[in-house]
Amino acid sequence: MRKFLFYFVLFTISVNYSQEKEDLFNLISNEEKKIELLPEKMIFTQSLLWGKKGLLRKTGISELNLENRQKELRLRKTMLTAHQAIGYLTLASMIAQGIIGGKLYNGD
């Protein structure tokens, strides 16, 4: 019984491994054929500007190609970094205001 169970487990693992291996090779070969420039799902606010029918595409500011997409992603990264820096600055000022307000309230 133990031998049977051992061989069954070994067989199951080998079949699953070979199926995963084939799936990975299919994914790699499919990725080489076609490059997707936009993600499948985008948030509504993102698709307003950056989508296939977004404002930047309709106005002709940025056509959808690989070079422009790389520029867009660099711009979006810069915008995100600025947004985060402004957020931390706002957080620091709120904390400072809380400390100063507490001291003023206590008469220090």
Predicted confidence (pLDDT) per residue in 18-34, tens digit:
444 555 556 655 555 56
Q: What is the mean pLDDT of residues 65-90?
A: 92
**Domain annotation covers residue 55:** no
For residue 64, give the amino acid letter: L
Question: What is the Cα–Cα distance from 52 to 38, expressed in whole angstroms?
Answer: 8
**Domain annotation covers residue 51:** no
> Angle 100-104-108 (CA atoms, 0-180°, nearest 5)?
100
Question: What is the Cα–Cα distance from 74 to 6, expressed in whole angstroms?
Answer: 53
**Domain annotation covers residue 95:** yes
Question: What is the Cα–Cα distance from 80 to 92, expressed in whole angstroms?
Answer: 18
Element of type H or E holding 87: helix 66-106
Number of domains into which the chain is organized: 1
**Domain annotation covers residue 39:** no
Return the pLDDT at 19. 47
**Which residues make Cβ contacts (< 8 Å) with residue 53, sequence separation at least 6?**
47
Look up the pTM and report it. Answer: 0.56
Q: Is the pLDDT of residue 1 over 70?
A: no
Which residue range is the domain that position 86 belongs to? 63-108
